[in-house]
Structure 1
Amino acid sequence: MKKLSLYLMIMVLSLSAIPTTMTAAEKNPVPKEIPAEVQVMLNRLEEIKEMDKSSLSSSEKKELRKEVREIKTNLKASGNGVYLSVGAIIIVILLLILLL
């Protein structure tokens, strides 16, 4: 039983080390194409950053802040990444333990 837990720990640690070594091996990553809608949103954010806000009224500043928040939430939502929560990772590990 002790050997099984030792082998399991070694397997988990070795599998968790693989992605870090793979990303370290990439020297020249291929630049990804940015979709047109995302580029438009990024350009608008740059325009807002470069804007002189001292001459704006408080209501205009408030609208700009709302616009920036909306753009940032849209940019986060447009990401194509797969995210796993800690609970999901624990469930996957428990399933692996039970099946092996």
Structure 2
Amino acid sequence: MKKLFYLLSMLFLFLAVSPMAMAKKDNPELTEEEKSRLVEIEMRVDEIKAMDFSTMEKAEKKAVRSELKEIKKEAKDLGGGVYLSVGAIIIILLILILLT
């Protein structure tokens, strides 16, 4: 009985602190402007990945790092997405193991 209570309490704990509650739900479709901006962001990230950081100075590296943080934040705001919490993944795995 204690194991069952412990399992259920952990289940509710993980479900209560789910990141899906924090995800945007009011943006199901992207406009053409947003799609083009996402393409621009992807191209800029590819350019940054292709850069040679060994020849850069410390200030330049810091500027690129801050630009990447801003890009990531903007892409997250535009993209939305589906998020699964760690608890939800564990529960799914447990259910799959128990049902097989």
Bigger relative contact order, structure 1 or 2, given CA contacts below 8 A and separation 6+? Answer: 2
Which of 1 and 2 has greater Rg?
A: 1
TM-score by length of 1: 0.46
TM-score by length of 2: 0.46
Higher helix share: 2
